[in-house]
A and B are shown apart, each in its own frame.
Chain A
Amino acid sequence: MNQSDERLRHQTPPRFSATFDPHSIAEIQRAASTGIYDIRGGGAKRKLPHFDDLLFLGASISRYPLEGYRERCGTNVVLGTRFASKPIELKIPVTIAGMSFGALSGPAKEALGRGASALGTSTTTGDGGMTPEERTHSSTLVYQYLPSRYGMNPTDLRRADAIEIVIGQGAKPGGGGMLLGQKISARVAKMRDLPEGIDQRSACRHPDWTGPDDLEIKIEELREITDWEKPIYVKVGASRPYYDTALAVKSGADVVVLDGMQGGTAATQEVFIENVGLPILSAIRPAVQALQELGMHRKVQLIVSGGIRTGADVAKALALGADAVAIGTAALIALGDNDPRLEDEYRKLGTTAGAYDDWHEGRDPAGITTQDPALAARLDPVKAGRRLSNYLSVLTLECQTIARACGKSHVHNLEPEDLVALTVEAAAMAGVPLAGTNWIPGATNF
């Protein structure tokens, strides 16, 4: 055998860098080639401490479970009891998060409305305004009030059941809306008062107020316009949840909506999604603490979102002190996003089912995150609405199963002491002890 054969036989296999891993290398190469940051939809994809790291303590000798069916486990929630004359009553503690018509197709918005209404819960408009389809099909509709004010008008304000003032969202706290030209169709352009086909630039701050002291005056105005009927929500991306929650209360909010970094967006820079904001697990306890210190827990309701997938996630969020959760990404998946049956089409787009996130391009083969009429027509809003209501039913049943096992006759009676954590990080972030110990890192001794 010659010398080079010898060398080949004893070579070590190629080694990838953990830092400059294939994905990082590809991204640098893409940036060098295009001169623009990578834009995508969805929320943070990296592994984060999450509800998976928490477990429930089911009934045992000291605690007794409830039987299914006969022994009721209530799931209803009332939002906006603080100031509104017409608070919102939901049958289940799961709502549909704000997603814009523009980001989503018309049939998708209709499907969300149908599915949510079937289970007695609400949907939320997004950056771009209220569509007739959504108002018609949503029995309870929350109207977002965003920095851009696209499509904002008093008629829709009065037709809404609640108003959600958006300060930010979990995917991009501090960022504004983004919708690229391929999705600024004629209809979207008209709703937003923009030229068709341009890339929408959005403001990241509200135009006529900055700060909680002036937010208070803005809330007052919105209440006056709607004769104090409707609950006013304030939505923030998880960043400084303790202070933000306290300030939302001081500004006069009825409901605080807290969106973790796993919460999705239609489009923003990838680096924004992955590097700004907190995982929802770490944001709930500080928000609840702020409410408790102000004597406002359960009086100003807390809705949390960002990575809710199963009824166990719902139950854990409620146990940590939330009044309800919101789902966005999960709702889209229920409608049909990232369906493996469309694998061939995902491959043509350079991706694969389960990883598709270039929603900003508007070429969604499922017809959900697109404005292309042919693609949007693929989504049957009745069938998709049914899928969503199925999923919401499962979330509710799963949550009830867990709550009953913990001896609760209402899901709101779940509490932090029903939980333990599997990791030190999750224990510290959620403020619950490491399983088998009394230790909450930073809060108690071992």
Chain B
Amino acid sequence: MCGIAGLYLKNDKLHSELGSLLSQMLVVLTDRGPDSTGFAIYGSGSPKDGKVTLRAEDHGRLKAAVAAVEKQFGAVRPVYRSSHAVISISPEMIPALQAFVAAQADGAEIVGHGARMEIYKEVGLPAKVSERFGLARMTGTHAIGHTRMATESAVTTRGAHPFSTGPDQCLVHNGSLSNHNALRRELKRNGIAFATDNDSEVAAGYLSWCMQEGATLKQALTRGLSDLDGFYTFVVGTESGFAVLRDPIACKPAVMAETDDYVAFGSEYRALAVLPGIEAARVFEPEPARVYVWER
């Protein structure tokens, strides 16, 4: 079980504070998720290149992996943050890059990719992990974050959320799915790869698969209501905003706040209490079994 924070800034003037605000929200959610912390942030993109977030066990391996990538694909202008690096590469090269990275033994792995999305996640408390990646200084239009209390799978970096579901898209989850093993087997047969025994990774894989089959995110989430069994609050980051879905029984919490400046999500109101102007915000809770989408 876990804590989720999401912040979508309507007011451009707040972009420079995105990282700082998200970091504070995540720290408030430490109790709900002491095992690992992760976030996806949507900052600036470039007109022609896509961004790929790589992570490795340690900085040495990361640098070696980036060097190997550059040898294969040319300069990628890596930006390093601790165990993660964001590289720039043209979007058509991404499938080849994925194959290349996957083939490297004991190297790096791709955490996510997109025009603007960067994903960072590690084992550790939110305050420490945020500091490691310099979250407080990051900027962008929106971000989602997660603090993890592992239920039935191991506490590892790979087990941390967010899980990427496609370009510029990723999922965080609070809850516990009850049929994820059967779903994982079926999705594997359909060609989706999994790195963990984590139920949330299955939900992400499920959404990816639905969208690969032509569904929109909204349609995929709606289908999830029938196919995913268990308790969940999902928040999905997208290029233009984020989506929220609670299961029909809706036992896991979800609180939202909206002002002229932002739309925010928190597992507890406490996480929203750090936001500017929260006293005047419209605070509400998403209905069960209803897909909500906010985007520019």
- Report whether B1 and A214 are in contact in the complex, using a CB–CB cutoff of 8 Å: yes
Distance (whole angstroms) from the CB of B258 to the closest CB of chain A: 24
**Interface check A243, CB cutoff 8 A:** yes
Over the window 194-216 of chain A, the binary record of Cβ atoms lying under 8 Å from chain B Cβ atoms (1 yes, 0 no) is: 00000000000100001111101
Q: Among B1, B31, B34, B253, which residue has the most Cβ atoms of chain A within 10 A?
A: B1
**Interface check B257, CB cutoff 8 A:** no
- Report whether B149 and A247 are in contact in the complex, using a CB–CB cutoff of 8 Å: yes
Q: Among A211, A214, A240, A247, which residue has the most Cβ atoms of chain B within 10 A?
A: A211
**Interface check B205, CB cutoff 8 A:** no
**Interface check A250, CB cutoff 8 A:** yes
- Report whether A213 and B174 are in contact in the complex, using a CB–CB cutoff of 8 Å: yes
Closest residue of A by beta carbon distance from B270 = A217
Contact (A213, B3) CB under 8 Å given A243-B151, A247-B151: yes
- Report whether A205 and B251 are in contact in the complex, using a CB–CB cutoff of 8 Å: yes
Contact of A211 among B1, B35, B150, B152 (CB under 8 A): B1
User: For the side of the interface on B, what is the size category?
Assistant: 20 to 34
Distance (whole angstroms) from the CB of B176 to the closest CB of chain A: 7
Contact (A240, B251) CB under 8 Å given A211-B1, A211-B231: no
Q: How far is the CA of A250 from the CA of B35 in the complex (A)?
A: 9
Q: How far is the CA of A250 from the CA of B32 in the complex (A)?
A: 9
Over the window 156-188 of chain B, the binary record of Cβ atoms lying under 8 Å from chain A Cβ atoms (1 yes, 0 no) is: 000000000000000000111000000000000
Q: How far is the CA of A217 from the CA of B33 in the complex (A)?
A: 12
Q: Among A212, A213, A214, which residue has the most Cβ atoms of chain B within 10 A?
A: A213
Contact (A210, B252) CB under 8 Å given A247-B149, A247-B151: yes
Contact (A213, B1) CB under 8 Å given A205-B251, A250-B34: yes
B residues less than 8 Å from A246 (CB atoms): 150
A residues less than 8 Å from B251 (CB atoms): 205, 210-211
User: For the side of the interface on A, what is the size category?
Assistant: 10 to 19
A residues less than 8 Å from B231 (CB atoms): 210-211
Q: How far is the CA of A217 from the CA of B31 in the complex (A)?
A: 9
B residues less than 8 Å from A250 (CB atoms): 34-35, 149
Over the window 230-255 of chain B, the binary record of Cβ atoms lying under 8 Å from chain A Cβ atoms (1 yes, 0 no) is: 01000000000000000000011100
Number of A-B residue pairs, CB cutoff 8 Å, is 39
Q: How far is the CA of A214 from the CA of B231 in the complex (A)?
A: 13
Q: How far is the CA of A217 from the CA of B2 in the complex (A)?
A: 12
Contact (A240, B33) CB under 8 Å given A211-B176, A211-B231, A211-B252: no
Closest residue of A by beta carbon distance from B2 = A213
Q: How far is the CA of A250 from the CA of B231 in the complex (A)?
A: 20
Distance (whole angstroms) from the CB of B197 to the closest CB of chain A: 12
Closest residue of B by beta carbon distance from A293 = B155
Interface of A is mostly: helix
Closest residue of B by beta carbon distance from A205 = B251
In residues 237-296 of chain A, which contact B (Cβ within 8 Å)?
240, 243, 246-247, 250
Distance (whole angstroms) from the CB of A278 to the closest CB of chain B: 15
A residues less than 8 Å from B176 (CB atoms): 211
A residues less than 8 Å from B34 (CB atoms): 250
- Report whether B253 and A214 are in contact in the complex, using a CB–CB cutoff of 8 Å: yes
Over the window 110-131 of chain A, the binary record of Cβ atoms lying under 8 Å from chain B Cβ atoms (1 yes, 0 no) is: 0000000000000000000000
Distance (whole angstroms) from the CB of B188 to the closest CB of chain A: 23
B residues less than 8 Å from A211 (CB atoms): 1, 174-176, 231, 251-252
A residues less than 8 Å from B267 (CB atoms): 213
- Report whether B175 and A240 are in contact in the complex, using a CB–CB cutoff of 8 Å: no
B residues less than 8 Å from A210 (CB atoms): 231, 251-252
- Report whether A212 and B151 are in contact in the complex, using a CB–CB cutoff of 8 Å: yes
Distance (whole angstroms) from the CB of B265 to the closest CB of chain A: 15
Distance (whole angstroms) from the CB of A388 to the closest CB of chain B: 39
Closest residue of A by beta carbon distance from B152 = A243
A residues less than 8 Å from B175 (CB atoms): 211
Distance (whole angstroms) from the CB of A300 to the closest CB of chain B: 15
- Report whether A216 and B31 are in contact in the complex, using a CB–CB cutoff of 8 Å: yes
B residues less than 8 Å from A213 (CB atoms): 1-3, 31-33, 149, 174, 267
Q: How far is the CA of A247 from the CA of B33 in the complex (A)?
A: 11
Q: How far is the CA of A260 from the CA of B34 in the complex (A)?
A: 29
A residues less than 8 Å from B3 (CB atoms): 213
B residues less than 8 Å from A205 (CB atoms): 251
Over the window 129-143 of chain B, the binary record of Cβ atoms lying under 8 Å from chain A Cβ atoms (1 yes, 0 no) is: 000000000000000
Closest residue of A by beta carbon distance from B32 = A213
In residues 18-34 of chain B, which contact A (Cβ within 8 Å)?
31-34
- Report whether B32 and A216 are in contact in the complex, using a CB–CB cutoff of 8 Å: yes
Distance (whole angstroms) from the CB of A79 to the closest CB of chain B: 24
Q: How far is the CA of A205 from the CA of B35 in the complex (A)?
A: 25
Q: How far is the CA of A210 from the CA of B252 in the complex (A)?
A: 7
Closest residue of A by beta carbon distance from B231 = A210
Distance (whole angstroms) from the CB of B198 to the closest CB of chain A: 13
A residues less than 8 Å from B33 (CB atoms): 213
Q: How far is the CA of A217 from the CA of B35 in the complex (A)?
A: 17
Shortest 4 CB-CB contacts between residues of A and residues of B:
A213-B1, A210-B251, A211-B1, A213-B32
B contact set with A: CB distance below 8 Å: 1-3, 31-35, 149-152, 174-176, 231, 251-253, 267
19 cross-chain CB contacts under 8 A: A210-B251, A210-B252, A211-B174, A211-B176, A211-B231, A211-B252, A212-B1, A213-B32, A213-B33, A213-B149, A214-B253, A216-B31, A217-B31, A243-B152, A247-B1, A247-B149, A247-B151, A250-B35, A250-B149
A contact set with B: CB distance below 8 Å: 205, 210-214, 216-217, 240, 243, 246-247, 250
Beyond A214-B1, A247-B151, list 7 extra A-B contacts (CB 8 Å).
A205-B251, A210-B252, A211-B176, A213-B32, A213-B267, A217-B31, A243-B151
